[in-house]
Amino acid sequence: MYYLIPVFLGIVIAILGIIMAIFPRISTRRDRRNDPKAVMKTRLSGFAMIVLGILLAILRFILLFR
């Protein structure tokens, strides 16, 4: 069971990235929510987290059966 923890961690990172990409204004700090550059940076960070989370989950899953 412990060998699945990195896979679940990758899935959780991807889910957090999805939330950041869909709701960037909510994911941005309160004092910077009105700044369009900060909101766009949060959205781009969300997309990066989605990609990295999926890659982490896939790679760890592949390494389980190696």
Give residue 3's pLDDT.
82
**How many domains would you assign to the chain?**
1
Residue 6 token pair: 């990195």
Q: pTM to 2 decimals?
A: 0.87
Confidence of residue 29 (pLDDT cuts 50, 70, 90): very high
- CA dist., res. 64 & res. 57, Å (int): 11
Give residue 4's pLDDT.
86
Range(s) of the domain holding residue 21: 2-64
Give residue 41's pLDDT.
96
